[in-house]
Amino acid sequence: MSNSNNTNNSKEINRGKRSFPWGNIILIFVAVLSVAFGILMGMTQLLPPFYLVLLILVLVALTALVAVLVLQKGKGMQTTGMVFGILASLMLIVGCFGVARTLITLNNVVTPNTEEVHVGIYVRDDDSAQMLGDMGEYTFGILESIDRESVDETVAQITGKLERDITISEYVSPAALVNALLDGQVDAIVMNEAYVDVLAETEGFEDVEQRLRQITSMTVNPPARPTEPPTTGQPTTQGTTTPATQGGQTVEDPFVVYISGIDSRTGLNTRSRSDVNILAVVNPKTHQILLLSTPRDYFVPLSISHGVKDKLTHAGIYGIDVSIDTLEMLYGIDIDYYFKVHFGGFKDIIDSLGGITVSSPKAFDARGYHFDEGDNYMDGDKALVFARERYSFIDGDFQRGRNQMAVIKAVIAKAMSPSILTNYLSLLKAVEDGFNTTVPYDLLAALVRNQLADNKPWDVITYAVSGYGDYQVTFSQGVEASVVIPDENTVAKAKDLLSKILSGELIEQP
């Protein structure tokens, strides 16, 4: 009797196991994940309405198919449905993760970073001081007016750490400041770290990094600087923006983006020289993009220099807003947004795209790489060398600007191709680490939606202004340095191209 009861109980337990609703559980997972994926895709605003509706229909059909299979009475159909449901769930989980990562990355990239200034405290290389506390009665040299907000904040930090007032001597330029230290007029100097790189390119200061020793570095966040109105005497061509920034505008309106390429040792947020200065003028209605390159050494007034001329690259030391304002003064336009890229991040982007193909105007060797005349496949490292090389060309910096635009053009072409999906997550990581922009998210999303809707190719026009080499005293160095005097004819041509593309005219490659 007891054995019979045990056998019956065992059958009931086994029957309970067989009847556990695994199929229903999997169906619920598929349904929930489908809803989550649809909501996330809607949040991205990247899909045109037709594609979004199509996606929703596919998700509904997927869920319905799983339901039909798992709710069948036949064991084989149920098993097939559960396996299919598990596979569908895994794909939806990966999709949800990818879309969520896209949302996070794009929102991080379009959130403007707070710019930092890294100010160093320097002594002579043979000085005995090893830390700030060793600089008891030192006299500190600072700049009289240039970059004074950052210097004053740093001096306040030094005073707080030493718990005493310090003796200050002021000098008119970074060159005079460094000479005062080397000549023994002061015991230490307080100076933006970017000036060390600036002076290292100046005749007579090539060994400045070896002759100075940095005791410490302090990070400050200076306020935005007031700028001067354009002084070009030319009418301003108003670049337009999107509904997110100005009411009544549409995604078809042209806009201007300043592309700034930096190679700061301390990251993307640091104010530093801009070695790439390209204006990208985008006209979504005509599907044309104008890439306008300005040489880094272009000798122009900065927006903060009260008419005193300087190399364009030095504008970045005082903030990306100064670079923007300076270019606005040069070309008589309004720049709507900026796109700031660290060279390391740009290299990673190209690697994530699987490399790019760029045409070289001549065969040459640079930094361990060989470039053939014509098309060259390039990974990130090789493309970066190509974009920065100037000594291999007769017209050096001018050809470098053209090469930089060729690299950007190749990146745009590769990003428009299906290959962008191959390493999508690594691409997102590279974008997040190496880029920052003020282009609004809704504008980026609208451009993607329009591109998916019409799949129309973009016509990319490139132009570079030119000039001739000279030696002039610059605002930031205070001594003579190699500069490029603008060729006003090429500047006038650039203004004409800017005016035409912004007004909706089709332009041709000059």
Return all residues near 338 (Cβ < 8 A) that are at least 6 apart: 257, 258, 259, 260, 320, 324, 437, 438
> Do 140 and 44 have their domain in common?
no
Dihedral (CA of 180, 181, 187, 192) sign: positive
> Do 146 and 194 have their domain in common?
yes
> Do 42 and 76 have their domain in common?
yes
3-class DSSP state of 485: strand
Q: Which residue, of 86, 109, 132, is where some domain finishes? A: 109
CA angle 286, 291, 296 (to 5 degrees): 160
Return all residues near 499 (Cβ < 8 A) that are at least 6 apart: 237
Q: Which domain holds residue 94?
A: 2-109
> Do 308 and 373 have their domain in common?
yes
Q: Describe the strand order of the beta sheet including 276-283 as a list of residue ranges.
A: 435-437, 337-342, 255-262, 276-283, 288-293, 459-464
> Do 157 and 83 have their domain in common?
no
Instruction: Evaluate whether residue 226 is within a structural domain.
Output: no
> Do 425 and 322 have their domain in common?
yes
pLDDT of amino acid 239 = 37
Instruction: Evaluate whether residue 238 is within a structural domain.
Output: no
> Do 411 and 483 have their domain in common?
yes
3-class DSSP state of 167: strand
Instruction: Evaluate whether residue 245 is within a structural domain.
Output: no
Domain count, the chain: 3
Instruction: Quote the tokens at residue 391.
Output: 């000594």
Instruction: Evaluate whether residue 229 is within a structural domain.
Output: no
Return all residues near 313 (Cβ < 8 A) that are at least 6 apart: 273, 274, 275, 277, 296, 297
> Do 131 and 271 have their domain in common?
no
Contact 337, 240 (CB under 8 A): no
The whole-model pTM stands at 0.82
354: left (phi over 0), alpha (psi -120 to 50) or beta: left
- Please report, for the domain that includes residue 134, its CATH number: 3.40.190.10
> Do 378 and 474 have their domain in common?
yes
- Please report, for the domain that includes residue 312, its CATH number: 3.40.630.190
Q: Which residue, of 85, 109, 133, is where some domain finishes? A: 109
> Do 212 and 323 have their domain in common?
no
Q: For 116-138, give the DSSP string.
A: BEEEEEEEETT----SGGG-TT-
Per-residue pLDDT of the chain (510 residues; tens, 9 = 90+): 455 555 555 555 455 445 567 878 889 999 999 999 999 999 988 889 998 999 999 999 999 999 988 887 777 788 888 898 899 999 999 999 989 988 888 888 887 777 889 999 999 999 999 999 888 789 999 999 888 888 999 999 999 888 888 899 999 999 999 999 999 999 999 999 999 989 998 888 999 999 999 999 998 887 655 444 444 333 333 333 333 344 445 778 999 999 998 877 667 788 889 988 999 999 999 999 999 999 999 999 999 999 999 999 999 999 999 999 999 999 999 999 998 988 877 888 888 888 999 999 889 999 999 999 999 999 999 999 999 888 898 888 889 889 988 998 888 888 777 666 666 667 777 777 778 889 888 888 888 888 888 888 889 999 999 999 999 999 999 899 999 999 999 999 999 999 999 999 999 998
Instruction: Evaluate whether residue 297 is within a structural domain.
Output: yes
